[in-house]
Chain A
Amino acid sequence: MTQTAFKAGGAAVVAASPPAGRRVRRSAFQRKLFPYLLVAPAVCYLLMITLYPGVYAIYQSFFFVRFNEWIPAGFDNYVELFQHDEFWGALWNTFVIGGIALTLECVIALALAYYAYRDPLIRGWRIVFLLPMLFMPSAVAFIWKLAFADGRVISDLLMRVGLITENIDFLGVVWNARLTLIVADVWQWTPFLFIIFVAALQAQDKEIEEAARLDGASWSAIFWNISLPLMKPVIAVAVILRGIDITTMFANVFIMTQGTPGGTTETISFFIYRMGFRTFNFGYASAASAVMLILTLIIAQLLLKRFFRSGRA
C-alpha cells in the first residue's frame, strides 16, 4: 500500500510517513554513519586482498623461507634482489615488451577508429575487430605459440612468399621471442582501445565537424586539430587501463616462452612466480613483491586522481 503510494509520489503519502521527530533523528544518523556502513563491506573485502597480503609480503621479505622454516634474514633478500640482474632484467623486459606493445596498440587502434567511426558499416567493423579480445588470454597465447613455434605456420607462409629461406627460430632468439609476445598482445588487445576510441569519436559533437567541413577542412585536419585534442582524457584513461594490464602480463609468458631465451622475456609477474613457486625462494620473491607493491602504490597515486573523474559531475 505505502509502496504504491510512494511510487506515485503524490502529496497524499505524507500522512503515511513516519512522525517528523523520528525522521529527523534517523536522517542525522544516515548523514553521518550510513554511507560508511554501505561502503564498509567492499572496503573490508579489498583490504583483505591488498593490505593483508602487502603486510604479509613485507614481513616475509625479511626471512629466508625454506619449507616451513623461517630464518630471519634482515635486509639480505633486498640486497640480493638489487644486486642480481634478474630483477632488473625482468623490470626492463616488462617495460620494453609492454611499451612496444602498448604503443603499437594505441597507434593501430587510433588509425582504425579514425577510418571506421564515420563508416556506414561501423557496427560490423566493431564486432569483427572485437573478436580477438573475446578469447581467453591463455587461448590467444596458444594460437600464437602454434602459429610461430610449434606449427611453424608463420615461417612457412614467409617462405612461400619468398621472404626467407629457412624456418625462423621464433622462441630461441631474444627479439624474436619478444616479438611473439608483442604480436599476441597487440592482436588480442588492440580491440580494447579501438572500442573506446570509436565510442569517444562518435560521442563528439557532430556540429563542430560539420562547421569545419563547410570551411573546407579535410577529415584528417579535423581529426588532428579537433577530434584528437577533445579525445585526450579518454585516451589517457584507456591507455592507463591497458598499461596496467600489460605490466601484469603473465599467461602469455607462462604458455609461450617461460621467460626463455635466457630470461629475456621474463616479465616481473613471471619473475615473482618463478622465484616463489619454482625455486621456492619465498622470502626473496616477497621482497620483489614488496618493491613492486610500493612502486604500484606510488604510480597509482600519481595517475588515478589525475585522470579519473571523481565526485559528482
Chain B
Amino acid sequence: MALRRRSGENLALRYVILCAWALVCLVPILWFLSIGFRPRTEIITPQPIYWPTFSLDAWHMIWDDWPMANYLRNSLLAIAGSVVIDLVLAVPAAYSLARYNYKGREDIGFYILSTRMMAPAIVAIPIFFLFKGLGLLDTVWALMLVYAAINLSVVTWIIRSYMMDIPHELEDAARTDGASDLRILWEIVIPICLPGIITAAVIAAIFAINEFLFTLLIASTKNAYTMSVALANFTGGSDGKIYNAIALVSFLAFVPVFLLVVFIQKHLSRGLTLGALKG
C-alpha cells in the first residue's frame, strides 16, 4: 500500500518534469519554425508578434536572391566526400587497432583519439595558411579534407569498438581455410560490423554539417559557403539579419539530420560515446 502510494506520487512529478522539458525543447523550435514562414515585417518589431501571418517570402528569397542551390551543393559534396575519406582511412585503421597485437598499438589508438580533443581554433591558423599555399582556399575540396580530418578519430574509434565485438572464431576459421587478412576484413568483418560503420558515417556527417570555424575561414564566396556558415551571411545591409531566411535554412539542414538520426537511433548512444557504451 505504501509502495503504491509512493510510486503514485513519483508518477505525477515524473510527468510534470518530463512534460516541462518537452515544452522547453519544442516551444523554441515551433516558434523558430513560425519565423521561417512569416513576412520580414513581422520578425523584428517593437512588440513580438506571436500569431503571424503566413508567408513564403523567405522560401522565395533563399532561392531567388541567394545562391541556396550552391550552399546545398557545397554542403552535400563536402560532407559526402569527407565521409568517404574517413571510411577509407578508418576501416583498415580500426581493424588494425581491434584485431592485431603489436608494439605501440595502444599509443597509436590514443593518439588518434587525442586529436578529437584539439580545439579547431588551435590549428585554424596553420591550416588556413596550408590551404592558402595549396591554392585551395574557398573550395569544396578544402572543406572535404578538413571535415574528414576532424571526424577521423571519432569514426575510427566507433568502428574499432564494433570490430572488437566480433568473435575471433569466425576469423580464425577463415584463416585456417587460407583466406588472406584483407579478404577476411572485406568479406567477414566489414559485413558484420556494417551497423557500426553506418553509425560512424552518420555521426561524421552530422558533425560535418555543424562545422563552423574552419568553414568560416576557408569559404569566402558561394563557391564554398555551406549551410552552416551561409546562415551568418543572411544579412540585408541596414535591415540587419534576415531571420526568416535563417530559420528556413536551419530547418532545411535539420530535416536530413533528423531522418539520419532516427535511422541509427538504436546505435546513437554507442556512437556518441565512441563505443564506450554498448546500448
Q: Is the interface of B mostly helix, strand, loop or mixed?
A: helix
User: What range describes how many residues of A lie at the interface?
Assistant: 35 or more
Q: Which of A36, A203, A286, A308 contacts B113 (CB 8 A)?
A: A308
**Given contacts A187-B24, A304-B110, are A136 and B117 in contact (CB under 8 A)?**
no
Known: A46-B153, A150-B44. A234 touches B276 (CB 8 A): yes
> How does the 8 Å CB contact mask read for A220-254 relative to B, with 1 for contact and 0 for none?
00000000000001100110010010011011001
**Contact check: which of B152, B178, B258 meets A46 at CB < 8 Å?**
B152
A199 proximity list for chain B (CB < 8 A): 269-270, 277, 279
Which B residues are in CB contact (< 8 Å) with A116?
A: 18
Please report the C-alpha to C-alpha distance between residue A268 and residue B213 in the assembled complex, in whole angstroms: 13
Contact B43 A136 (CB under 8 A): no
Partner among B28, B96, B126 whose Cβ is within 8 Å of the Cβ of A56: B126
Does B139 interact with chain A (Cβ within 8 Å)? no
Bound Cα distance A311, B100 (Å):
10
The contact of B93 among A7, A42, A144, A296, by CB within 8 Å, is A42
Q: Which of A75-83, A123-131, A173-181 contacts B (4 or more CB under 8 A)?
A: A123-131
Q: A residues within 8 A CB of B243?
A: 142, 146, 150-151
Question: In the complex the two chains form, is A138's CB within 8 Å of B124's CB?
Answer: no
Q: Of B116, B121, B130, B258, which one neighbours A269 at CB under 8 angstroms?
A: B121
Q: Is A99 an interface residue (CB 8 A)?
A: no
Expressed in whole angstroms, the Cα–Cα distance for A296 and B47 within the complex equals 46
Q: When each residue 89-122 of chain B gets 1 if its CB lies under 8 Å from chain A and 0 otherwise, what string results?
A: 1101101111110100110111111111111111
Q: Mark B221-256, 1 if CB is under 8 A from A, else 0.
A: 000000111011000000011010011011001100
Contact A35 B241 (CB under 8 A): no
Known: A45-B152, A53-B130, A305-B110. A35 touches B105 (CB 8 A): yes
Smallest Cβ distance from B70 to chain A, in angstroms?
Answer: 17
A interface, over-half SS = helix
Residue from B6, B13, B95, B111 having most chain A Cβ neighbours under 10 A: B111
Are A56 and B110 neighbours in the complex by a CB distance under 8 Å? no
- Asked if B262 CB lies within 8 Å of chain A CBs, one says yes
Total number of B residues with any Cβ neighbor in A under 8 Å: 111
Chain A's nearest CB lies how many Å from the CB of B123?
Answer: 4
B56 at the interface (CB under 8 A from A): no
Q: Does B22 contact A (CB under 8 A)?
A: yes
Q: Decide: B177 and A14 in contact? CB cutoff 8 A.
A: yes
What distance in Å separates the Cβ of B89 from its nearest Cβ neighbour in chain A? 4
Which residues from chain B contact A89 at a C-beta distance below 8 Å?
A: none
A311 and B3 alpha carbons, distance in the complex (Å): 45
B1 contacts partner chain A, Cβ-Cβ < 8 Å: no
Greatest chain B CB density within 10 A among A139, A250, A268 is at A139
Partner of B268, one of A144, A195, A289: A195
A248-277: which have CB < 8 Å to B? Answer: 248, 250-251, 254-255, 268-270, 272-273, 276-277
Q: Does A23 touch B at the CB level, under 8 Å?
A: yes
Chain B residues lying within 8 Å of A169, measured Cβ to Cβ, are none
B125 to chain A: which residues have CB within 8 Å? 53, 56-57, 60, 272, 276, 282, 285-286, 289
* A159-211 at interface with B (beta carbon < 8 Å): 187, 191-192, 195-196, 198-200, 202-203
**Interface check B129, CB cutoff 8 A:** yes
Per the bound structure, the CA–CA distance linking A5 and B178 in Å amounts to 11
6 shortest interchain CB distances as A-B pairs: A17-B178, A139-B250, A53-B126, A199-B269, A35-B100, A38-B96
Residue positions of A touching B, CB distance < 8 A: 3, 5-7, 9, 13-14, 16-18, 23, 26, 30-32, 34-36, 38-39, 41-43, 45-46, 48-50, 52-54, 56-57, 60, 108, 111-112, 115-116, 119, 125-132, 134-139, 142-144, 146-147, 150-153, 156, 187, 191-192, 195-196, 198-200, 202-203, 216, 218-219, 233-234, 237-238, 241, 244, 247-248, 250-251, 254-255, 268-270, 272-273, 276-277, 282, 285-286, 289, 292-293, 296-297, 299-301, 303-305, 308-313
Given contacts A14-B178, A131-B258, A143-B250, 15 further A-B contacts (CB under 8 A): A14-B176, A17-B178, A38-B96, A39-B96, A53-B130, A138-B210, A156-B48, A195-B268, A195-B269, A203-B278, A250-B212, A251-B228, A269-B119, A273-B213, A308-B276
